Amino acid sequence: MVAPDSATGAVQQLIKSIDQLRVTTDPAERAKLARSIDASLALEPLCRESLGAEWARHDAREHARFVAIVRKSLEKFAYPRAAQFFSGMKIAYLGEENSRGDTMVRTTSSVGGGAVSIDYAMKKIAGKWAVVDIILDHQSLAQSVAAQMQAVLKSGSYNDLVAQMESRLKQEG
């Protein structure tokens, strides 16, 4: 039995919430599940790292606004896709590896005959385990998100990035 306050326990709770999101239709329950998933992710550090030097150019109010836009985007696009991705998958927890204050929870997910490696980089933030990155078949999702944001920042501005994100949220919903 895995301790619920361990890094692996936090990953198990995250995956359970994602799976429940797939089959839950009640809007209030879906919102509760989304909040649970949000709470298991280190969204502010992800946003700070994704924006790089641009983060320091903005105040706390703008930071909160940007994190809220990212959170809404995840809730609208990423969580439903993750729920479908995990549908019918069997998850094997392979253990934890500790390195420099971080913990990597190693898993494989399989459906049918194929398996995919999914590792969760975890860090204790304010006394709770939070996902700081997900490594899907050796590809960092945090680095992918950062690269996409940096590409927009290089060709435009922070305001362009925010406008694109807000526009996408409005268009597809």
When comparing pLDDT for 5 and 117, which is higher?
117
Answer whether residue 94 is part of any domain: yes
Q: Does residue 154 fall inside a structural domain?
A: yes
User: What CATH number does residue 27 fall under?
Assistant: 3.10.450.710
b/e burial code for range 94-117 (CB count within 10 A of at least 16 → b): eebeeeeeebbbbbebeeeeeeee
Local structure of residue 76 (DSSP, 8 states): I
Q: Does residue 100 belong to any structural domain of this protein?
A: yes
Number of domains in the chain: 1
In a 10 Å sphere around its CB, with 0-12 CB exposed, 13-18 middle and 19+ buried, how is residue 119 labelled? buried
Domain that holds residue 96: 7-171
Query: Is the overall model pTM greater than 0.85, yes or no?
Result: yes
Does a structural domain hold residue 29? Answer: yes
- Class of residue 17 by CB neighbours under 10 A (exposed 0-12, middle 13-18, buried 19+): buried
Strands 139-140 and 128-136: antiparallel
In a domain, 1, yes or no: no
Residues in the chain: 173
Within-domain flag for 56: yes
> What does the pLDDT look like over 138-163, one tens digit per residue?
899 999 999 999 999 999 999 999 99
pLDDT tens for each residue of 81-125: 998 888 888 999 999 999 877 899 999 999 877 889 999 999 999
Residue 2 maps to a domain: no
| Percentage of residues of the chain with pLDDT beyond 90 | 83
Distance (Å, whole) CA 61 – CA 87: 37
